[in-house]
Structure 1
Amino acid sequence: MTPPLGDIAHIGHAQLFTPDLDASVGFFTDFLGLTVCGQDGDSVYLRTFDDYEHHSLVLTARDQPGLGRIALRTSSADALQRRVKAVEESGGTGHWTEDEPGLGKLYVTTDPDGHELALYWDSEHYRAPDELKPALKNQPQAKPNRGVGVRRLDHVNFLASDVALNADFQSDVLGARPTEQIRLDTGRIAGKWLTFTNKSYDVVYTEDWTGANGRLHHIAFATDNREDILRAADLAIDTGVFIETGPHKHAIQQTFFLYVYEPGGNRIELCNPLTRLVLAPDWPLITWTEEERKKGQAWGLKTIESFHTHGTPPIKP
């Protein structure tokens, strides 16, 4: 039986590996406007101004770029235990650790493709130091005076060798609700968008054309409005940030977007999906056909080839 929507409250934070830690930190602070809030060895913790927890992103030095841990906060201590039990009853395994600032114990497991997921409940609400205190008491931190000033971590897009299998794990074991999908003419599911909340999506699985496991397509940060994304494009060309594609509007989920690469090689999306919510408790799963997807984005330029081939870590020839 599919668990009730609500045991997973939201995505807490993401971890990225980077071969150039200093340059990656510079990108996320100077270009996106995140704030460094701690460091432990080769890991730097950063936060967006409107995320309420200690950190939104962990950057960790590695030889290759890629995705580390995606952390999911549960809605209660009991919800955490229910999801741990569901993981183990489904045949999955995991272990407990307490290795991140501002958080209690995390249950670390993986999806079928090998992406690392950490489930947790205990979390300290961020308290801004005097120099970062906001004027409005219902905001965790003052808006940054540099870069784009992204509001929050929005979603993660996993590359997967088997989209349907991994999406079913998110639905059947963690309680996500699928909202949209791509079905090829063969019947194979090539992409699936799922939500834990009333956002239209929190996690995405898209097919890894290489057949590899555990890779990343992108993580995404939400902006206040579309103008922020246009401003980000101008900032990118002024500061040497590589724009892969955009600004355009996706047909699937209708997200206005810009894709860039951070210096370590990971793809980052700036998105403005804030106006689209899935409020219907009986929302029907929207299926896009192969023919419909050939039309590309809702409007803007056609989808470029690298959008289907670039992932991290890179595949060695």
Structure 2
Amino acid sequence: MPDPSPRHEIAHLGHVELFTPEPARSLDFFVRVLGLTENGTDGDSVYLRTWDDYEHHSLKLTAAKTSGVGRTALRTTSAEALERRVKALEERGLGVGWVDGDTGIGPTYLFHDPDGHELEIYWETERYRPPEHLRPALKNQAQAYPGRGVGVRRLDHVNYLAQDAAANGQFVCDALGGRVTEQIRLDNGVISGQWTHFAQKSYDLVYTTDWTRSTGRLHHIAFATDTREDILRAADIALDNDVHIETGPHKHAIQQTFFLYVYEPGGNRIELCNPAARLIFAPDWEPVTWTEAERAKGQAWGLKTIESFHTHGTPPVV
């Protein structure tokens, strides 16, 4: 029986690991400023969750010598889908192998994208069961709203830096069943950015060109807020807590996301976004391509793209 289409075999972005050389300050940022909830520890790592993600954790914060991204976890739509994606990854020579699942997830297959970022896929998962003081009144909500800091609702997407954005985007499509929703094509024909998705949310994994020609680096991870007004409030909260605001609040032209970019104490860029992503219903969606001239106009309402957006990534290049 032929292997079915890989489309819809990855359900969603599960969680991401972030490295920080400032573990205590980074933890304070994510808990007190962004409003995540601690849900266990493992060695040098702390597990954190947003209030409406249904799994054990949304973020694994790991103490390290430098900043950057660790493993990104993707949940498949079934055990059979997991096996099929493992086969596809092994055929492309980018598989590492089966590893013990992180806290809260079952058997996990580790692999690399063409740029060297670590990713893993899994099916079995532990649904979060809140303690009594975090039990929500509405049974269809994962956790009571914390009422603390920004109060981000869920993990939204990861934006990687890569030597070749198109090659990595193609890998996501071919091996994992993703689809490109929007992209940037420079005047020389090079694709400098691709936004890919797995389900109806318009982007989950993003690849943009690393102008340092380094590999395996992070541009940012993003958390979705409940409302656009939360982004405005987040800017004031950042001011009150001496958090560096890089750019925003404003609206992206690509994906139309209302955004605020800040740096957490470890140096990693964090985006707070709403609408978290547009929804793509068309089964025959064609990628929207932005030209170099269109991107030179800046963001949706004319805000020029800040220079550090093209130069800052983690870990820093020495």
Taking structure 1 as the reference length, the TM-score comes to 0.98
Q: 2:173 aligns to what?
A: 171
- Equivalent residues in 2 for 1:35-114, closer than 5 Å: 35-114=37-116
**Are the structure 2 counterparts of residues 50 and 6 from structure 1 closer, same or farther at C-alpha, using a change threshold of 3 Å?**
same
Q: Deviations over 1:67-121 (max 9, x none)?
A: 0000000000000000000001122222111141111111010000000001000
**Partner amino acid, structure 2, of 1:30:** R
Name the CA distance, whole Å, in 2 between partners of 1:165 and 1:216: 17
Q: 1:268 aligns with which of 246, 253, 270?
A: 270
1:25 matched to 2:27 = yes
Contact persistence 1:3–1:173 (CA under 8 A): no
Contact persistence 2:157–2:204 (CA under 8 A): yes
Task: Report SS of the residue matched to 1:229.
Answer: helix
Name the CA distance, whole Å, in 2 between partners of 1:107 and 1:297: 38
Contact persistence 1:163–1:205 (CA under 8 A): yes
Contact persistence 1:248–1:256 (CA under 8 A): yes
Name the CA distance, whole Å, in 1 between partners of 2:139 and 2:4: 38
> What are structure 1's unaligned runs of at least 5 residues?
none
CA RMSD of aligned residues (A): 1.1
Counting matched residue pairs gives 316
1:283 matched to 2:274 = no
Q: 1:192 aligns to what?
A: 194
**Partner amino acid, structure 1, of 2:184:** I
Task: Report SS of the residue matched to 1:253.
Answer: helix
1:6 matched to 2:24 = no
Name the CA distance, whole Å, in 1 between partners of 2:161 and 2:137: 40
- Equivalent residues in 2 for 1:145-164, closer than 5 Å: 145-164=147-166
Q: 2:239 aligns to what?
A: 237
Q: 1:307 aligns with which of 303, 306, 309?
A: 309
Identity across the alignment (%): 68
**Partner amino acid, structure 2, of 1:174:** L
Name the CA distance, whole Å, in 1 between partners of 2:284 and 2:228: 29
Name the CA distance, whole Å, in 2 between partners of 1:204 and 1:310: 16
> What are structure 2's unaligned runs of at least 5 residues?
none
Shift of residue 299, structure 1, vs aligned partner: 1.1
Task: Report SS of the residue matched to 1:25.
Answer: helix
Shift of residue 182, structure 1, vs aligned partner: 0.4
Q: 2:213 aligns to what?
A: 211
1:182 matched to 2:184 = yes
**Partner amino acid, structure 1, of 2:255:** Q
